[in-house]
Each structure stands twice: as C-alpha cells, then as structure tokens.
Chains A and B, each alone.
Chain A
Amino acid sequence: MKLLWTIAVILVSCILSYTPTAALAEPFTYTDDLGRTVTVSVPVKRAAIFQTYELIPALGIWDQVVGIGRYAYSNDLVRATKADVEETVPSAGSGGDVNIEVLLKLNPDVVVTWTYKPESVRFMEARGLKVIGIYPKSLSELYEVMRLHGRLFGKEQKVEVCFAEMKKVFDLVEEKVSTIPPANRKKVLWLLGKPTTVTCGSGVTSDLLKMAGAVNPASGNPQSSADFSLEQIVSWNPDLIFIWGHAGYSAESILESSQWRYVKAVREGRVYKAPCWSTWSPRIAPIVLWIASKAYPELFRDVDVNKVCDDFYRKLYGIPYLRVAEFENKAAN
C-alpha cells in the first residue's frame, strides 16, 4: 500500500513537471548592470518591468507582469497589443522615480528596471525587493537583456523566435549592404534631442547605423552622444540625416534652415525623422531595414519594406503593422 502511494506520488510529480505551465521553480542567478548578483526563482510569476516594456508583448508575458513603468502607457506597441493596459496593469512610477508603496503593494517577485538612476535600484533593494538593473549599451548587450527576460519568464523559446525573426530582417539588410564597397558607403548622422546633439560611437543606435551599412562620422567619439558645433556637422557633410523620433523638431525645420543648406543630406532632401520606437526592443530590426532602405534605395527597390514590417509584427506580436502605425500617428499629432 505504502509502495503504491509512493509510485503514485512519483508519477503525479513526473506528470506535473512535464506540463510547461507548472514548471518547477528553480533558482536563477544573474549579475546585473551594476555588478550586483541577484538570485530569483524562475519562472517569475509576478514581475514589475519599468523600462523594457516592449519585451512584454514580444514574449507574451502580460499574465506574469503585475506592474509597469508609467511611460509604457504612452508606448504605441504596448497600447496596440493591450488596449486596456491602463486599467489592468498598474504603474509604480518609472525607473527614475519609484512609488515604493505601490510597488510593495504589488508584491513583485522581481523588479526589472534600468540603471538610469542607480540609487533607486539600491533603494528598492533595501525595501526587500529583488531588483535586476539593466542598461544595454550595444546590440549584443540588448540580446543579453532579451535572453535574461526569456530566462526570467520561462520564455527562452519565444526569445529564440524573436532572434530568428530579427535575424531574418538583419540578413536581408546584410545581404544587400555587404555588397557596397567602403568608398560608396553613405555618411549618416543620427540627431537627438536638439539638432546639434549627435549619436556617437557607442550605444544601440550606433550599432544599428553600422548594420544598415552607414558610416557615422561622429563614431570616432567613444560616447553614446555628444553636442557638436554646427560647423562640425557641416564639415562632416553627411549624405543622410536621421532624427530621433522623440526629438522636438521636425525634418522640415532642418531642410528649410539656411544654415544647413550646404549639408549634402539637406541639399538632396534626405532628412528623415524616425518613428518613436524603443531601441531596447526587437523592433530595432525593422528600424535597421528602414535606415538602410533610405540610405540605399536603389538596393532595396525590390524589397517591400512595409510588407517585411507587417510580417515581423504579425509573427512577433500577432498584430498587423497598421495597428501600431495608428497609435504612432495619434502620438505624432
């Protein structure tokens, strides 16, 4: 009788362990951006995600998220994939300002935040929360952060799917731009919060420009961005200019300025404002395609960029690209 019970228990536990939803919790140790070692038991059931909210729809983990950063509410992708996000998922502030009482009430098993303000990480930690700080400064670090999310939420497979979809787009770009000899590569500047603040040699955006086959004349500078004099920009004479989606000025304001008139990009009307997409997201893949197709339109004549985007969105997020574009346009107006 006792033996029978034992067998039954073993059998049941075996069955349970094979069903993915009831995967047994196991400890997972991670060294974060601040060099802190954090151990959490994965998969996490209750998480608060402050900055990497674009990964939530990509991994399909809304049911494992109990709180998000408040900027997520104005994010096009978040709104397009979860229309009722403001009613259903509370916000505990942002990475810079944590509402600790709300956060403690949400009782998350882990908090994933960015290290924009390291002291808030330590503050949350001191209140007994498990906090992982992230700040991807390059493409490979972004992959690492995505893998971390996969591991945390038990969605390693889904992360691989993301990588595969991204790779598809990257390969498409790579295949086209690799044929361009170095001498024919376009000089591209990516302008930030004001027209003289320029993306330099590090950071995700810098890597994106590289992947798109562009040469960033400011990349000699090791920072992620810096202010340069207008003279410097004119003397770089970029072939194309891209403007960060969140910037408070338009492509027209650059195109119409007499000061910029000797910049090649302005003379040829090749100044573009990027969409307001997060660069800590799989969506960098369509961005690279967009940059490359603007820089080398002759090479991408046979590629339907919108179609590629749409496929990408359907595969990753299960929605057509148009749904997101809707929110994007709404935010732009």
Chain B
Amino acid sequence: MKTKRLIKLLILISPLVAGWIALFVGSFHVSPVSILKILFQAIAPFSGLADTPETAIVIDIRLPRVILAGLVGVALSGSGVTLQGIFRNPLVDSFILGISAGAALGCALSIGFLSWLPVQPAAFFFGIMSVLLTYTMAKTQGEVSRLPLILSGVIISAFFTAMVSIVKFLVDPHKLQSIVFWLMGSFSLSDWRLVTIAGIGVVVGLAPVFLMRWRLNAMSMGDDEAKTLGVNVKRERIIFVASSSLAVSVAVSVSGIIGWVGLMVPHLVRMMTGPDHRTLVPLSMAGGASFMIFADTIARNLTSFDVPVGIITAITGAPFFVYLMKKGGKESWGT
C-alpha cells in the first residue's frame, strides 16, 4: 500500500522533474547557472529580464516547447484514459473516433488547396467535425451505444484517410512534403501562442473529465449497469466524448498527429497504480505530460536533427509496452 502511494506521488511530480531536466538540455549551449538566473529573473517581479540570446533560447524557445509537449501529453493521455473508460476497452486510444484522420484532412486541405486557411484551425475544425460525424452516424433510434460508436469511428477514419490520400495525390510534391511533415507530429514550431492555445484547450476540454472522473468507474461497467447505478449515460457520455475530443483536436492542431501516447500511458499507469479512475485520470495526465516531455527531449537532442517526436514515442513506447505486457501477464490486460 505504501509503495503504491509512493509510485502515485512520483508519477504526479514526474512532469515537473522531466520539464526541469528538459530545460537544461539543447543544442544551444546555455550554462546551468545562467539558466537558473534567467528563470529566476523571469519569475521574480522586479528584477526585469535581461534581453540576451540566452534568454530568448530559454524563455522563448525551450520553455514553450517543454510546456507545449507537456500539455499535449496531458490532452492525449487524459482523453485516452477517458475513452478507454467509456468504451470499456483498454485498447482504445485518443484517436478512436476519427479525430486524427479528420485533423489530417484539415491539414492536407489547408496546405494543398485552401491557402487562406491556416493549418491549425483547419485541423481543429476537421477533427471536431469527424467526431460529430462519427457520433451522428452511430446514433440509432436516439441512442448511441458503444459498438456502433467505435465502428463509426473506424469508418470515418477510413473515409477521411482516403480523402487525405486524394489530396496527397492531387497536390504537387512540394506541398506533399509539407503535409507529410505535418502529419508526423512534432513540437519544432512551439511558441507561446501555441502554448496558450493548447493550455486553453486542455483546461476547457479536460476540466469536465477531471471533475467527473470518478463516474468513469460506473460508466466502465457498461451502459445498463451504469444506468441502474444512477448515471445518465446518454448525457454524461456526450460530456466525456465532447470534452476529450476538444482536448485532442486542440492537441493535434498544435503538434500534428502523435500516436501511442493516448493508448500506452493510461495503460502503463493502470498497471502500476490500479484502475480506479479517481486516481487513474490525474495520474495518466501527469504520466502523459512527462512521457511526452521525455520523448521530445530525446527527439531534439538524440541527433543533430529534430526528429519527429511521433517516431520517438513509438520507438521508446512499443518495447516498454511489450515488456510490461509479458511481465504482467494476462491480468495486465484487465482480464
């Protein structure tokens, strides 16, 4: 019991630790002492910030990048754990309702044809639209149940992916390259504006999820049982789906499509600390943030290039996942 508490505490503070470490590494050399000095100056109200290249690196480039990675990690992992809960399936991820395919189409259209429409709003708008379509499609006789919802998500994903392929096919290779880069997902263009957007998206989107997280326990017992326990399943599922979709769409719009996190982090946290959503939701959010910061720090420091972070999340995540699965055996899948 005690070690479990310790693990929970460690997971909760891990984003701060990961973020702190990430601030000290980068290809522009700034000594740890001056980083501390800059950070102190930035926080202290009267000291004023000396405008030097080091300050620009730490305050305008490194810090927003670390925070953005953390926020996107929170959004993906928080929505992943929510959707796993309401779909009663640990193999569901944040993109199950077609958000990634929708956002990809938005991006492709924006880069390919609608040059007046910036990529971010396009990705956000199409991400939300794909969820709405999925939801409408799954609605039969006024009810939306789990299986039709997942199936509709698969259909909408397939359809939008096909549309993306059409756009990719039609645009010239110059634009194609931009689309491909964007779809890979990366934090290379992080700035304070994106941090603000992501921050608002995460707070607005995940606040209801955070507050209602305990009800995910009852929701995960299945629609009928949840109803007899006193859950207004229809209404609450809309709240959960809408808020996590909002968070994911915002995340995708600022960082592109980063896979694995929404599936893996909730799963790992569940294996380590148990399935109770009261603790699982905040711990998954914290775990998602620190994992994303960790992955992005590797992405920008592993080589002289800036490797797309989605590659890192898959490369580091998959083997760890397999290890835990083998070690935990059957019960790690919750059966």
Q: Measuring CB to CB, which residues of chain A are less than 8 angstroms from any residue of chain B? A: 71, 74, 94-97, 116, 192-197, 221, 226-232, 234-235, 244, 246-248, 257-259, 261-262
Interface size on B (CB < 8 Å)? 35
Contact B56 A229 (CB under 8 A): no
User: Could you list 21 A-B pairs, sorted by A, with CB under 8 Å?
Assistant: A71-B172, A74-B172, A96-B173, A193-B181, A194-B178, A194-B182, A228-B306, A229-B27, A229-B300, A229-B306, A231-B28, A231-B57, A231-B61, A231-B62, A231-B300, A232-B28, A232-B306, A234-B57, A235-B57, A246-B174, A257-B191
Which B residues lie within 8 Å of A235 (CB)? Answer: 27-29, 57
- Sample of 13 more A-B contacts, CB < 8 Å, known A97-B169, A248-B115, A257-B191: A74-B172, A194-B178, A194-B182, A196-B189, A197-B181, A227-B188, A228-B306, A229-B300, A231-B57, A234-B28, A234-B56, A234-B57, A248-B178
With an 8 A cutoff between CB atoms, is B232 at the interface?
no
A264 to chain B, nearest CB (A): 10
Contact of A94 among B172, B181, B304 (CB under 8 A): B172
Contact B61 A234 (CB under 8 A): yes
User: Which one of A96, A227, A231, A246 has the highest number of Cβ atoms from chain B below 10 Å of its Cβ?
Assistant: A231
Which B residues lie within 8 Å of A227 (CB)? Answer: 181, 186, 188, 305-308
Residue of A nearest to B56 (CB): A262
A192 vs B177: C-alpha distance when bound (angstroms): 10
A261 vs B52: C-alpha distance when bound (angstroms): 10
Residue of B nearest to A96 (CB): B173
B254 to chain A, nearest CB (A): 14
Contact A228 B173 (CB under 8 A): no
A96 vs B182: C-alpha distance when bound (angstroms): 20
B111 to chain A, nearest CB (A): 6
- A-B contact number at CB 8 A: 91
Q: Scan B178-201; emit 1 where CB is below 8 A from any A CB, else 0.
A: 100110001011011000000000
A245 to chain B, nearest CB (A): 9
Which B residues lie within 8 Å of A262 (CB)? Answer: 52-53, 56-57
Which A residues lie within 8 Å of B186 (CB)? Answer: 227
Residue of A nearest to B172 (CB): A71
With an 8 A cutoff between CB atoms, is B60 at the interface?
yes
For the complex of A and B, the 10 pairs showing the least CB-CB separation, nearest first, are A246-B174, A235-B28, A193-B178, A231-B28, A262-B53, A232-B27, A227-B306, A196-B188, A229-B300, A229-B306
Contact B28 A226 (CB under 8 A): no
User: Which one of A229, A231, A262 has the highest number of Cβ atoms from chain B below 10 Å of its Cβ?
Assistant: A229
B299 to chain A, nearest CB (A): 9
A246 vs B171: C-alpha distance when bound (angstroms): 12
With an 8 A cutoff between CB atoms, is B26 at the interface?
yes
A247 vs B178: C-alpha distance when bound (angstroms): 8
B251 to chain A, nearest CB (A): 18
Residue of B nearest to A194 (CB): B181
With an 8 A cutoff between CB atoms, is B278 at the interface?
no
A221 vs B306: C-alpha distance when bound (angstroms): 13
| A97-B169, A246-B174, A259-B60 known; A232 vs B29 contact (CB < 8 Å) | no
With an 8 A cutoff between CB atoms, is B175 at the interface?
yes
User: Which one of A96, A97, A234 has the highest number of Cβ atoms from chain B below 10 Å of its Cβ?
Assistant: A234
Residue of B nearest to A95 (CB): B173
B303 to chain A, nearest CB (A): 9
Contact B26 A229 (CB under 8 A): yes
Which B residues lie within 8 Å of A221 (CB)? Answer: 304-305
Residue of B nearest to A244 (CB): B174
Contact of B305 among A228, A244, A246 (CB under 8 A): A228
A83 vs B53: C-alpha distance when bound (angstroms): 51
